[in-house]
Amino acid sequence: MLGSLKEKLARTRDAFRRVGDLLRSGKRRDEILEGLEEALIRADVGVAATEKIVGALKARTGKAEDQAGLEAALRDELVVLLSPANGRPAPAAVQTVILMVGVNGGGKTTSAAKLAARLKRDGRRVMFAAADTFRAAAQEQLAVWGRKLDIPVVKGSYGADPASVVFDAVQSFKAQRGDVLLVDTAGRIHTNANLMAELEKVRRVVVRELPAARVESLLVLDATVGQNAVLQAREFLKFSGLTGIFLTKVDGTAKGGAAIAVAAELGLPIRYLGLGEGEDDIADFSPREFVEALLA
Ligand SMILES: Nc1nc2c(ncn2[C@@H]2O[C@H](COP(=O)(O)OP(=O)(O)OP(=O)(O)O)[C@@H](O)[C@H]2O)c(=O)[nH]1
Ligand SMILES: [Mg+2]
Q: What is the pLDDT of residues 213-250, one digit of tens each?
A: 999 999 999 999 999 999 989 989 988 889 999 999 99
> What's the pTM value of the predicted model, to 2 decimals?
0.93
Q: In the prediction, which pLDDT does 1 show?
A: 52
Ligand nearest to the CA of 142: 2
Q: Whose CA is nearest to atom 17 of ligand 1?
A: 107
d(CA 14, CA 59): 28
Percent of the chain with pLDDT over 70: 95
User: Which has more confidence, 296 or 101?
Assistant: 101
Ligand 1 binding pocket includes 171 (Cβ within 6 Å): no
Q: In the prediction, which pLDDT does 92 show?
A: 65
Q: In the prediction, which pLDDT does 61 show?
A: 61
For ligand 2, the distance from its centroid to the CA atom of residue 268, given in whole angstroms, is: 22
Ligand 1 binding pocket includes 225 (Cβ within 6 Å): no
Ligand 1 binding pocket includes 256 (Cβ within 6 Å): no
Q: What is the pLDDT of residues 23-60, one digit of tens each?
A: 989 898 889 999 999 999 999 999 999 999 999 998 87
Q: What is the pLDDT of residues 182-224, one digit of tens each?
A: 999 998 877 888 999 999 999 999 999 999 999 999 999 999 9
Residue 290 buriedness (CB in 10 A; 0-12 / 13-18 / 19+): buried
d(CA 220, CA 203): 16
Ligand 1 binding pocket includes 4 (Cβ within 6 Å): no
**Plot region of 26 (φ>0 → left; ψ -120 to 50 → alpha; else → beta):** left
- For residue 87, pLDDT beyond 80: no
User: Which has more confidence, 135 or 98?
Assistant: 98
Band of pLDDT at residue 63, cut at 50, 70 and 90: low
Q: Whose CA is nearest to atom 22 of ligand 1?
A: 104
Q: In the prediction, which pLDDT does 260 show?
A: 96
Q: Whose CA is nearest to atom 27 of ligand 1?
A: 277
Closest atom of ligand 1 to CA, residue 132? 23
The phi and psi torsions of 228 (rounded to 5 degrees) equal -65, -20
Q: In the prediction, which pLDDT does 244 show?
A: 95
- For residue 88, pLDDT beyond 80: no
Ligand nearest to the CA of 280: 1
For ligand 2, the distance from its centroid to the CA atom of residue 106, given in whole angstroms, is: 8
Identify any residues that bridge with 100 across adjacent strands, giving them in sequence order. Answer: 184, 218
For ligand 2, the distance from its centroid to the CA atom of residue 290, given in whole angstroms, is: 27
